Amino acid sequence: MNNDKEADGDDVKEDGERSFTDFYNVNEEDSESNSSSTSSEHGQTNRFDANSETSSEFKSEEYIFQESESGLHRNSSCYYPFKNKEIMIGCLIAGCTRSLLSRKTYNHIRLVMRLCDVDLPSWKTVQSAKSHLQKISHCKDNMSVSVIGNPITTLSIQGLLTQELGNPIVCKYLEFYPEDTNGENVYKYSQSAKWLHQYPRDLRVQMIKVGVKSYYIYEPTQIIDGNVVVPIFFYIKGGIMYAKVCKVNVCVSSSSELQLSISGDLSFYASDLKEIMVQDFLKPYLEIIANDGRLLAEKCRNVLHVTQEKREVIHLPNPWRVKAQGKIIRHVPLNIYSDDTSGNLSKQWNKHISIYMSLSGLPPHFSNQEYNTMFVATSNIASALELCTPVVQELNTLSSTGFWAFDSSLNEDVLVMPVVLLFMGDSPMHAEISSTMQPNISLQPCRICCLKAESKKEKATADYVVTVQARVRPG
């Protein structure tokens, strides 16, 4: 019984065991003296000392970042935001996300380490330290209940993206604008057709900043030759920022008011669109002055008409201009991934459904690193659709309203607009998300076309394969 108490031992304070305040610096005070005293208690050199050669290259500020307005200040300890090395080692051993140790296993490791004169903090101290890390990193848990009563816990996508934009190791490689390569040398998501021109108007790149002026899509813009155009797409081509713009049709009423209208066919390759460099922009919508000296916004009554079969009225200025308040908007597409995994060799034990995401704007050699894969949710009782429900709800809110975050590459606050670029998964997961039959067992796997077979044996014939190839062939 005594051994069991020592193993479980968070409530039993042993001789020489220090309290929570000894291990964890609540007031963020300098703790180098505490670290050095810990190593001297056993009369030996500490292998994890900040002054040792093995750790001379470690700099905690390269891995942990915080916003200046959070009211928290770094101390001089190289183990910040941990008070000392024991807390840091304890958190590393306990693990995070999907690689967690149980309390019993951690206490066993702690007992073994004590035989080697290494005094690790208790389990409760480690958990308190992790809670503090979540607080200063703006990472919180979203709790909800699915439609069939299963509890769902997801990490805040807003908190995860706030960390990524504030991390200079990641943010300096992140791309926020699509690239037009004319179909040549395509190797990253920013060169995809969906990011370039397949997003609807309210989800595509909304603005570009030229100098100190901000220009938005679907807003009249004056260019250097004096003409007024309306930008529809912003993108990069050959390292230069371009815009696809359309001509504005002006109709003067009897009261000297202007009615502005544009064509309804505004696809990326439409003949009505013209490609110009954004450096040719002269004045944004709110600064354009008409011939009579009045502002264009006043004369057109902040209305832009779209001429098509069903006439549409666009109210000016762009709603994102009001939300941004003069700041830059970061367009952040995301790759969502889901699979049933457990880490076991046998598939029959894959009881956990997990959801991850990565930044589409990162080049492949960065986005493929585990460091840049963000854990969102997991459950061994909820289905993929149940897990995705709170994730989709949060993404819908963030993509329509945005949120503020600190951009380490600009060293200023920006308005973040996250959108989903693609959903990745194996065939069973795609079938569940899209509410279709699994293609390997279904005789009619597609809900759109008429691809079908009379029996499973027929699916293995050459005629069925030819039919599939004919339907997936481009054009």
* SS3 assignment for 165-205: HHCHHHHCCCCCCCECCCCCCCCCHHHCHHHHHHCCCCCCC
Enumerate the β-bridge partners of residue 307.
263
Contact 19, 1 (CB under 8 A): no
Rounded to 5 degrees, what are φ and ψ at 164? Answer: -65, -45
* Contact call for residues 376 and 292 (beta carbons, < 8 A): no
Q: Please tell me the predicted confidence (pLDDT) of residue 418.
A: 97
Please list the pLDDT of the chain residue by residue as tens digits (475 residues). 444 444 444 444 444 444 434 433 444 444 444 444 444 444 444 433 333 333 334 343 333 333 334 444 555 678 888 888 888 999 999 987 667 889 999 999 999 999 988 899 999 999 999 888 878 777 778 899 998 999 999 999 999 999 999 999 999 999 999 999 998 999 999 999 999 999 999 999 999 999 999 999 999 999 999 999 999 999 999 999 999 999 999 988 767 789 999 988 789 999 999 999 999 999 999 999 988 889 999 999 999 999 877 788 999 999 999 999 999 999 999 999 998 876 556 555 567 888 999 999 999 999 988 889 999 998 888 888 899 999 999 999 999 999 999 999 999 999 999 999 999 988 778 778 877 777 667 777 766 667 778 887 887 788 877 776 665 554 4
**What pLDDT was estimated at residue 471?**
59
Angstrom CA distances, 335 to 34, 164, 424, stand at: 44, 14, 7
Structure tokens at 427: 């065939």
Residue 40 sits at φ, ψ, to 5 deg, of: -80, -15
CB contact set of 329 (below 8 Å; sequence gap of 6+): 206, 207, 320, 402, 414, 415, 416, 417
User: Cβ distance 230 to 221 under 8 Å?
Assistant: yes
Residues 21, 128 contacting (CB under 8 angstroms): no
- Number of other CB atoms surrounding residue 367 within 10 Å: 18
Amino acid found at 422: L
* Residue that is written with structure tokens 């081509």 in the block: 237
Query: How many residues are there in the chain?
Result: 475
Query: How far, in Å, are 242, 291, 293, 331 from residue 239 at the CA level?
Result: 9, 36, 38, 18
Contact 409, 172 (CB under 8 A): yes
Angstrom distance (rounded) from CA 146 to CA 4: 38
CA gyration radius, the chain? 29
pLDDT at 276: 97
User: Contact at 8 Å (CB) between 367 and 335?
Assistant: yes
**At CA 197, angle to CA 194 and CA 199, rounded to 5?**
65
What pLDDT is stored for residue 134 in this prediction? 79
- Torsions phi, psi of 439, nearest 5? -65, -25
Four-residue CA torsion sign, 364, 207, 303, 267? negative
**Nearest Cα residue to 313 out of 268, 274, 264:** 264
- Give pairs for 103-110: CB < 8 Å, separation 24+: 103/8, 103/10, 104/7, 104/8, 107/6, 107/7, 107/8, 107/9, 107/10, 108/7
Phi (first) and psi of residue 273, to 5 degrees: -95, 140
Q: Where do the domains of the chain lie?
A: 2-136, 141-173+331-435, 207-317, 437-475
